[in-house]
Amino acid sequence: MNAFQYKSGQLHCEDVSVARLAEEFGTPLYVYSRQHIVGQWQALDKAMKPLEHLVCYAVKANSNLSVLRALAEAGAGFDIVSGGELERVIRAGGDPTKCVFAGVGKTAMEIERALRCGIGCFNVESLPELLRIASIADAMGRRAPVALRVNPGVDPDTHHYISTGKHESKFGIALQDALAVYRAAAEMPGIEIRGVQTHIGSQITKTAPYVLAIRKMLPLIQQVRALAPQTLEFFDIGGGLGIRYRNERPPAAAAFAAAVKPLLRNLGLRIVLEPGRFIVGNGGVLLTRVQYVKQTPVKRFVIVDAAMNDLIRPSLYESYHEIVPVRKLSARRMFQADVVGPVCESGDFLAQDRRMAAVGEGELLAVMSAGAYGMAMSSNYNSRGRAAEVLVDGRRYALARRREGVGELMQAEIS
Ligand SMILES: Cc1ncc(COP(=O)(O)O)c(C=O)c1O
């Protein structure tokens, strides 16, 4: 579904005019569509049937409690990477037994807390981490459920910052080392081998890298089954499903499932998925107001009130986000401009050399496809309070996070 559409010349999120939200809550403002977010989760969930499966939403993409609650109510599991994300899931009514806990640097405190909460599984990224989990579980008189995150050495053909399954990545355990680590795990009283996991990267717009990665993992799965026939339950094929930012043609949920299911059908294991961007990416926009239009001898700058601290993807990954005026005029002039924020960095831009609708001071713009890795990666750089967030559901909407005030920025500091 496309949750963001013009109605009577005004951009709407579902049935709510986003200009109205900007009036009420100010800018910069993140606006999310509940129907889009839950709909994406449901589409993937439905597409994976009749295989036994669990779609674990990757919390890192957008960790707002209202978003998590909507997904928990739909029945989602969660993929978490920190103790903080675990607490968010619990606060939002999510079930820790439906959580997989990834990340290369889990601390002893995080491991202990996750064990006490009954975490579904640790996705273990190294032998030292496995040893630490085993010893903590031992001391607690428990057995920790684990899967190893295995690097199949597949190039997902995406930005190198978000490619994770290649051999030189910091993530996971190399495929050729994995069996030895599983053998060690099988000898540890504090460990129960529950699964095998892989994740090859993010914003993957083709099915072929998944098919290749799964194929490369299948022999290992049989070897692990022989090691832990009683306890092996799942194969987690990670996240990374891409979305359309500009002109990409990523597979829909059904096409993705159709490509991978034939390889997974006869495994007799539950299939776990960890999508983040696919669920929330196109379910959110960042609303921002034009402050000035500045003309230099060589360039035009549209200076807006959102900045790299609100949405860092263009600066960090050179990502493209469509930027549209909230009020659509049929006969708008076009011009070329950089859309930039007030932060004191040349890298603070939302678009560069963009051919766009000619907008003027005071106008509202929507930065599209900003639901994933937008607010979640925001910061207080330049002592800027973080944006507010609103969740829309049909005609209804509710503030999901209030705007951060300057007082809050200084709250934890001592002078
Ligand atoms: C282990 C793991 N799972 C899932 C995800 C979610 O990725 P995406 O939002 O691209 O689906 C990531 C992203 O970094 C990840 O590292």
Rounded to 5 degrees, what are φ and ψ at 29?
-140, 125
As a whole number of angstroms, the distance between CA 54 and CA 121 comes to 13
pTM, to two decimals: 0.97
Q: In angstroms, what is the span from residue 143 Cα to ligand 1's centroid?
A: 26
CB 371 within 8 A of CB 280: yes
Q: Span 107-135, mean pLDDT?
A: 98
pLDDT for the residue 238: 98
Topology classification of domain 103-273: TIM Barrel (3.20.20)
User: Residue ranges of the domains in the chain?
Assistant: 4-32+281-410, 103-273
Predicted confidence (pLDDT) at residue 60 exceeds the cutoff of 60: yes
Q: What is the pLDDT of residues 372-385, one digit of tens each?
A: 999 999 999 999 99
Asked if 344 is an active-site residue, the reply is yes
Q: Which atom of ligand 1 is nearest to the CA of 238?
A: 3
Q: How far apart are CA 164 and CA 58, in angstroms?
A: 15
Are 278 and 238 contacting, i.e. CB atoms less than 8 angstroms apart?
no
Q: Which residue's alpha carbon is nearest to atom 4 within ligand 1? A: 239
Average pLDDT, the chain: 96
Nearest CA owner, ligand 1 atom 14: 202
Instruction: Provide the pLDDT for residue 332.
Output: 87
Topology classification of domain 4-32+281-410:
Lyase, Ornithine Decarboxylase; Chain A, domain 1 (2.40.37)
